[in-house]
Structure 1
Amino acid sequence: MDGWYLFMLVGPALYAGSAVRKTVGGALKTRHQRKLALIEARREERLALEAADRSPAPVCGCEHHLAKHDKQGKCHETVQAAVAWDAEKNPVRYEPRRCACQQYVGPQPLAQIYAEDLTDLD
């Protein structure tokens, strides 16, 4: 008889323990997912703020920086140009060539001006 009572007490306790474990485990997993989502949202916000603080880069229509162009507007960057195509008109071979753009069309950089602080001259 003693074994029967022990079985009657241990069985429900094990069942209740597994139910609690599933509930707590699910809550911890959900909390972990929420925490990861919060970390990702903070990272995206930080990246957006950093991007907003940067001034626009002067980029030509060829997507090269203004520093790669001379005063006449010619680009001095090399690009990979297709020189051979297959039957479906897909490029097969590329060669390095000088960029063919002629004019800078990006945003004009703002001039850097130094102004002294105003002081009270009473």
Structure 2
Amino acid sequence: MKLTKISRWIWFWLALVLVASIILLIFIFNYKIEKTEKINLYIDSKNRMYLLGNNKLFYSLKQGQKIILKINEKAYNINISGIKILKDSAQIDFISYDDTLRQLLRKDMNIDGIIHLGETTLFELLFK
């Protein structure tokens, strides 16, 4: 003789919580995350832009890649149109759709920026 019996409602709610948990995990693992990296750019005396620092980053640069520059607390988007890898830096030719950006770039200037490296998922980051 059983003293307690599990109700059908308990089984129903248990199954519902299990299905909802699985759906939530699938959503979290497939959610798109933008891969970005902070960079340091330098403008030389001839108004050429150089990316300084990370050698691994130099070889992952592609034409058309987006860079966000922060100048005077304002963000400007540029796209890479040409890349020339040097010994300890990479010379970048760029296209800007904001006319005021060229006026803000001065000789011998360091600029902080963020480069957009693409999108990934949490699943790819954990199990790659």
Question: What's the TM-score, normalizing by structure 2?
Answer: 0.31
More helix by share: 1
More strand by share: 2
Which has the larger Rg?
1
